[in-house]
Every structure is written in structure tokens, then in C-alpha cells.
Structure 1
Amino acid sequence: MNVVYEAELVVSSREFAADGVLALTLRHPLGGQLPAWEPGAHIDVVLGPELERQYSLCGDPADRGAWRIAVLREPAGRGGSAHVHGQLGHGDKVRVRGPRNHFRLEPAPRYRFIAGGIGITPILPMLAAAEAARAEWTLLYGGRTRRSMAFRGELERYGDRVTVVPQDESGLLDLAPVLDDLPDGTLVYCCGPGPLLDAVEERCPAGILHVERFQPKGRPADQQAEFEVELTQSGRTLTVAPGVSVLDTVRAAGIEVLYSCTEGTCGTCETDVLDGTPDHRDSVLTREEQERGETMMICVSRCRGKRLVLDL
């Protein structure tokens, strides 16, 4: 959960990558290099008081002078995309933190990439990495309309390894040809709307799927059990009351901790678990990572017993 970098960057360019999708290039105002990142990474963008959002880096990891993000305008959203589209212009400064990566591309001889809508953003640099590694790969990319699907021009260089499926022309994505009878050693990477990720999870064998969610998946509603958290760095033991998160309990005690989405999707509040069994309710950790119980997202996850010991 350590922050690698925090600074004010300047918007050096902005252009539409598709209908409703604005691509921004961010640079340091004094020039120089930005921190290195790997495909799948995202940054926190601080747009104002109580207005912070996470966006995937979708440029070239080898370009250490710039970070590129792409933001979908969501009229029914919570204000982040409207701010970026309407108020963040060329030359403006914006505070960022990161990068972080909970969607890292693992080495494999072959990949199946599936993207829905703005979910193409973390996938885009993965394609270049897979290509550089000479892995076998394909991309199935769906969207509402052809004009709404970002970076189609950049994808043309990959030829028939990329299948573009606009819903208004061809309907929903057909997952069977991509996910049935996968060769040994294949990893599947998927990012997009919740229903697409749910469908892929239902069809994909365990252990080979990596997903990134922009919205939290359904979580158990029960938050009535009280439990204690021992904070080893702070030397405090706190009681987490029913209906109150670990994050809110820790902050109410005056202990500073990094957080952002408060929905279990961004990974900012990830905390090491030294003892106890977390009740994982996040949308970040893989099933295997949750089973190991080494970390937890304290904004949503709770305790399966009476006590947790956290590295806070």
C-alpha cells in the first residue's frame, strides 16, 4: 500500500479517443522522468475535495516522460468524468498518486484478452507487452457502437488477432470461441462492465483468469458482527462496531491511512494482515490472494472471527 509517487502533473494534451472517451497525456511541469510502471497499472487522480478517481495507464511504459489515461464520460456517474471532460483542459495541473498495479500481466506462452468498452485501457499496453514477449494472443473487444470504442486505430496494427464487436452491429460478445477448450498455459485477462466480467468468470476455469473491475461486485450485506483490530505500528486496539468499516474506525481514532474509492475496487487502502482471518469483500484481490489472507482492503472487508492484527 506504499505510495510510489505523488505530484502535480500538467495536462500536456487532450484528444478524443472515441465518442465520449477523452484521452489525456500528463507530464511533470518541469519535465523529467515519471516513475516506471507495468501494464495493468492505474493512478489516483485527485480532482477536488472528496473527488478522487482511479484511471488505468494506457500509454507506452517505455515513455518515462508521460502518462496517458482515458476517461469515459458518464452522465449518470458520480462527477469524476464530468469534471475531467468539462473542467480539465490543456495546461491545467492535477494531483496524482501511484502508480499501483493489481492487474499485473503474468508471464505466459499465450493469452486471451477480453475488453468491454473503456475496459480496453488497461488491456492496451498488455497487448504490446505480449507482442514483445512473442506470446500467442488474441483480443475480443466489445462496445456499444463502433464509434464509442476507443483506440481502434491503434489496434489495427495487430490485424486479425483483434476482433472488434460493436453491439449495435453484432450483438453481445460470444465468449465460447475464446474461452472453450483453452490450450494449457493460457491466461485470460478481462476488463469491462460487471455483467461481462461475471459471464467470463462463470465460463473460465479457476486459476487462469485475471479481471479488473471498475465497479464493486455484489458483497454480503451482513455487517453486524463486532470485532477488534490490533494495530501494531500504532500500538492501539480498536473495536469495529456493527455497520462501521475498519477504515472509518481507524480514521476516527486519529490514525492516518491512505484510501480512495471506499468501495473495494481501487486497492489504495490495502493493508497487511499479521494475524486473524479477513472476511474479504473487495473486488481487487484474486480468489487465491483472498484465500491466503495476507492483505485486506479495510474500506469494505471485515473479520471472520473476533480479532484481526493489522500492520497499521
Structure 2
Amino acid sequence: MQQTVVDHIDRAAEDVVSLALRSASGPLAPWEPGAHIDLALPNWLTRQYSLCGDPADRGSYRVAIRNERLSRGGSEYIHRFLRQGRTLGVSLPRNHFRLEPAPAYLFLAGGIGITPLLPMLRAAAASGVPADLVYAGQSVATMPFADELRSSYGDRVRIVATRRQGRPDLAALASALPPGARVYCCGPPAMLAEAEAAFPAGRLHTERFHPAPKSFAPNEEFEVECARSGQTLRVPADESLLDVLTHAGRPVGSGCREGVCGSCEIAVLDGEPEHRDDIGAPQGRMYPCVSRALGPRLVVDL
């Protein structure tokens, strides 16, 4: 865990603040556009936020947080109680939303979904690759970094205030997509669903802040063997693998507990996991906060 100090808290839009987190000692870990960090808050909660600053700045990280009406305690604490000068623990950056090489890019942002896309647009522009951003929100006043984007990128950025203009026509954008272009989309579930319907799957990259609705067969009990200790544990149908490991003294770091952040990733040595995450676990890995076993037994590297 890296130690940072809250250097600035700025109002980025209605109900959105931007935090500048300065390193407490030495350079911070490097990151690439699309990465996020876990923020360990003083109220004992850990929350994930996309990095939206400059990857070349090794002295500080920038994140932006919307005050969610149904906050589980994270955004509410930041907006109401966090103060400049507070020391915060920050994880090493993780990236499940990497900017892949392409001859052109289209970035689609909805509200606070602008955060991972902001450094992507900056990187594309710096490399000279054609890139456009369509940024939608209820009104300009609710859209963080709208002025910064317009002043920096001009007509590459299209701001859509949906209360007045309606939602952007993603089907029309798909029909005009340049050959080989990649599309990166982050925003509310309705925007993501529309993007998935409009753009070819092989060219669309999405990131979710909350898991997509999914259905699975009823949970079944299974066994998990911890290879390093030789301990075998029973995972009941009504408990997650993550909780069973924690209760048995084999805790795994976790953040969202919803299969979207990737902080609880573990290696699977034998058996077939049932992947229920929204990230797309790499071969031989799984996220035990939500994923289970397709058979009666798993062997994990713990």
C-alpha cells in the first residue's frame, strides 16, 4: 500500500469532487490510461476509482468521485468528511481497461465515466492518432472536466447535455466508425447496453462501475484446496469463496466484492472456475468474491 496525502480537493462538477493525492515519500507506482486504484478511507472502507490525471506525473494521482445518492459510505465520506492534508493508503494501480493500439479511436463517456477515458484521449492525441470523444451527461454542470476537455481538444470533443439534446445516437456513430477504429465506453448501464448493441464486439471495450445483471445456475457446494498449506475447505452454497477463505485464516485482499475491480484475483491450479465477474479473468485466474466452481473441487495457489 502506497501512502499519499490529500493535496487538493476541488469541485469538478455538481456533486463531483476531484482529489489530488500527493506521494508521502518517493515516486508513486507507474500507471497507464484505463488504470484504477483502491483508496483506503479513514472510515475503514476501501473503494476503487479510475486514475484521471497524467501518467507522467509520478508525484501525484488524480481521481474524481461523484456523491452517489445511494452511497454505501465511500463517496459520502469523501464529500462530507475528507479534508486536505489527510493521509490515505492507495493500492498499486491495476488495469483491466487498457488502451490497445489502433489507427483511430472513439471514446464514449457517460457522466463520471469520463474518468478512465480522459487519460486515454490525452495519450491518443499526444501520439497523433485520430481520436474523438462523445461525452454525455444530464447537463454540462453535472459533467466533470467538460471545460478542460473543450479547451484542450476543441472539436474533437462533443458534449451532449441529454436533458436538452437527448442521448447521442450510437448507431449513427457506429455507421461512421473509421476502419479498424477501437471504441472505448464507460458510463451508466443504459449507455453500455446501447454501445454493445451498436458496435462490433471485437472493436468495443467497456468498463463498468457496477456489475451487469447476469443469471447463473443455483449455487452448489464445492471444495477448495489451498495448495501451499494443504488445507481443504468446504464452500457452502450460501457463502462466497472469498468469505470462506477469510474465515479460515486465508484472507485475500478485496475491494468491490462485486467482480468489477479485480483486487481479489487468485491463481487456480486445478479444477474449472465458474467466472461470474465483469472483467474477464485471465486463464488460470479467478475472482473469488463472486466466482465459484463448475465442478466439485478447485485447487488454488494459497
TM-score, shorter chain, exceeding 0.5: yes
- Cα 1:167–1:181 shift into 2, 3 Å: closer
Please, which moves more after superposition, 108-117 or 176-185? 176-185
Q: Which SS does the other structure have where 2:100 is aligned?
A: coil
2:86 is the counterpart of 1:92: yes
Contact 2:2 2:92 (8 Å CA) reproduced: no
Matching residue of 1:77:
71
Query: Aligned letter for 1:85?
Result: H
- Equivalent of 1:21, from 16, 20, 27? 16
Cα distance in 2 for partners of 1:188, 1:237 equals 44
Contact 2:174 2:199 (8 Å CA) reproduced: yes
Matching residue of 2:95:
101
Q: Which SS does the other structure have where 1:99 is aligned?
A: coil
Within 5 Å, which residues of 2 pair with 1:217-296? 217-220=212-215, 222-285=217-280, 290=281, 293-296=283-286
Contact 1:278 1:293 (8 Å CA) reproduced: no
Cα distance in 2 for partners of 1:239, 1:181 equals 53
Contact 2:21 2:61 (8 Å CA) reproduced: yes
Q: Which SS does the other structure have where 1:150 is aligned?
A: coil
Matching residue of 2:27:
33
Cα distance in 2 for partners of 1:184, 1:274 equals 41
Cα distance in 2 for partners of 1:144, 1:306 equals 48
- Cα 1:234–1:105 shift into 2, 3 Å: farther
- Cα 1:232–1:180 shift into 2, 3 Å: farther
Give the drift of 1:293.
Answer: 3.9
2:118 is the counterpart of 1:130: no
Q: Which SS does the other structure have where 1:176 is aligned?
A: helix
Query: Aligned letter for 1:306?
Result: P
Please, which moves more after superposition, 294-303 or 116-125? 294-303
1:136-164 CA-partner distances (Å, limit 9, x unpaired) = 21111100111111101221121211111
How many residue pairs match? The answer is 301
TM-score normalized by the length of structure 1: 0.92
2:201 is the counterpart of 1:206: yes
Matching residue of 2:293:
303
Cα distance in 1 for partners of 2:180, 2:225 equals 41
Contact 1:14 1:89 (8 Å CA) reproduced: yes
Q: Which SS does the other structure have where 1:8 is aligned?
A: strand
Cα distance in 2 for partners of 1:297, 1:49 equals 25
Gaps of 5+ in 2: none
Give the drift of 1:185.
Answer: 2.0
RMSD: 1.6
Contact 2:35 2:50 (8 Å CA) reproduced: yes
Matching residue of 1:121:
115
2:5 is the counterpart of 1:10: yes
Matching residue of 1:170:
165
Cα distance in 2 for partners of 1:223, 1:250 equals 21
Give the drift of 1:181.
Answer: 5.4
Contact 1:42 1:57 (8 Å CA) reproduced: yes
Please, which moves more after superposition, 8-17 or 54-63? 8-17
Query: Aligned letter for 2:301?
Result: D
Cα distance in 1 for partners of 2:170, 2:253 equals 38
Cα distance in 1 for partners of 2:267, 2:128 equals 36
Matching residue of 1:111:
105
Give the drift of 1:113.
Answer: 0.7
- % identical aligned pairs: 50
Query: Aligned letter for 2:129?
Result: A
Q: Which SS does the other structure have where 1:100 is aligned?
A: coil
Give the drift of 1:165.
Answer: 0.4
- Cα 1:29–1:240 shift into 2, 3 Å: same
Query: Aligned letter for 1:70?
Result: A
Matching residue of 2:52:
58
